[in-house]
Amino acid sequence: MELSVYKIDGTESGKKVVLDEKVFGIEPNDHAIYLDVIQYLANQRQGTSKTKDRSEVAYSTKKLGRQKGGGGARHGSLKANIFVGGGRVFGPKPRSYDTKLNKKVKQLARLSALSYKAQEGKITLVEPFAMDAPKTKEFKNILAAIKAGDRKVLFVLPSNSDNIFLSSRNLPEVKVITVDEINTYTIMNAHNLVLVDGVQDILAARVK
């Protein structure tokens, strides 16, 4: 697939880039994408939820009434889960939700996600640029000029740029990351993918 590289003012730079078929032209594997997204979301969970069971709630252990003859069920403690304020049965405990996934499966998922974006025509290439200071309005004008769209946009840089990142921070529909941070979830969660020229070469170089 051949794409034009745009300047930040929205005009074509005259440069054409052929996307590597190994990265942007494979047959997408939906199951690999599913596994990688599930792992990513699971690993975001803190796993710190905690409730108290009947051994941990602060109540007297005094028996409530006589064992027999009370006309009702027998109870031994207010800590029982059937009473208001009693301990919870089978409540959550601190745990880790982290899961592991084979590196080749993760790579296949990432390449599948990139290939989907290429098939859908949702990839835009833009010339490398720098911003002298964080300016949200200026960055928003760049996105409008290159027609990145007003839906979720994933902007991928070859290396970190504080000014570009800070300029995008107040735009809820825009996420700026470096090529080292790119993953299947962020690609699939975005509607449009904007790559700074050079990112596609870095991605191609990492395919084994």
- Spell out the domain ranges in the chain: 2-46+100-205, 51-91
Calpha distance 63→56 (Å, rounded): 17
Instruction: Encode pLDDT of 105-159 as tens digits.
Output: 999 999 999 999 999 999 999 999 988 899 999 999 999 999 887 789 999 999 8
Instruction: Provide the whole-model pTM.
Output: 0.82
In whole angstroms, how far apart are CA 44 and each of 33, 47, 70, 98, 175?
A: 17, 9, 52, 8, 17
pLDDT in tens, 153-186: 999 999 888 999 999 999 999 999 999 999 999 9
Taking the alpha carbons at both ends of the chain, their separation in whole angstroms is: 20
How is domain 2-46+100-205 classified at the CATH fold level?
A: Ribosomal Protein L4; Chain: A; (3.40.1370)
